[in-house]
Amino acid sequence: MEKRDAVAAGLMLPVMEAFYTIQGEGTFSGHPAYFIRLGGCDVGCVWCDVKDSWEAAKWPVLSIDEIVAGAKQYLGRKVVITGGEPLMYDLGPLTTLLKSEGFSTHIETSGAHPFSGDFDWVCFSPKKFKAPHPSIYEHANELKVVIYHQSDFDFAEKHAALVQNDCQLLLQPEWSKAATFTSKIIDYVKFHPNWKISLQTHKFMDIP
């Protein structure tokens, strides 16, 4: 099979980096996890801190067997698939293989492409720069909205109205705007107690 066809089938994927670390954000903050950062993103967030990931062609294309072999080197059995925008690819084959090897599968996505894959935890972080695909709303276990501008609170509520009732609702200050927005988020959550605060704790710990 040609490499391009294997990528289209989700049997090979461009991997920018993969590393074992501590999940710093969201509901699973503090848990050890193996992160697989796929290359390629067409969302274009102005404040993106992984702009290098945008161009998929820059990164090596690995088979899903190679990717899973990397994860198996470590003791932790949580895998977080992130990007870039990982839903640009069919994640069915990779997540099926990961689960057959005993991994719990998590994803961090803007939801900008049709949902695929077998996930134990879906972190949906919508972005204003490219609208989510409607398929994400029934799968999201966690809605994590990055607060970069005052209007992001309304943006967060708009998406909260579309996710399932048991979806965790999280507001997270964008790192460079934390001095401005952390106190506003604290006040917001006090008056809207269905929301919780998520912080990028890995940045405080100075880990990737």
- Rule CB under 6 A: is residue 60 a binding residue for ligand SF4? no
Q: Return phi, psi of residue 190, to 5°.
A: -60, -35
Q: Return phi, psi of residue 77, to 5°.
A: -120, 30
Q: What is the DSSP letter of 11?
A: S
b/e map 109-139, b = 16+ CB within 10 Å = bbbbbebbbebebbbbbbbeebebeeebbeb
**CB nearer ligand SF4, residue 93 or residue 111:** 111
- Rule CB under 6 A: is residue 17 a binding residue for ligand SF4? no
Q: What does the block give as tokens for 93? A: 């084959």
Q: Using CA atoms, how far apart are residues 129 and 43, in angstroms rounded to an integer?
A: 6
- Rule CB under 6 A: is residue 113 a binding residue for ligand SF4? no
- Rule CB under 6 A: is residue 97 a binding residue for ligand SF4? no
**CB nearer ligand SF4, residue 48 or residue 197:** 48
Which one of the spans 25-33, 38-46, 88-96, 190-198 is the region binding ligand SF4 (CB under 6 A)?
Answer: 38-46
- Rule CB under 6 A: is residue 48 a binding residue for ligand SF4? yes
Site for ligand SF4 in 115-134 (CB under 6 A): 127
Which one of the spans 6-14, 46-54, 91-99, 148-156 is the region binding ligand SF4 (CB under 6 A)?
Answer: 46-54
Closest residue by Cα to residue 105 from 59, 58, 64, 54: 64
Where along the sequence are the contacts to ligand SF4 (CB under 6 A)?
Answer: 41, 43-45, 48, 50, 53, 83-85, 110, 127
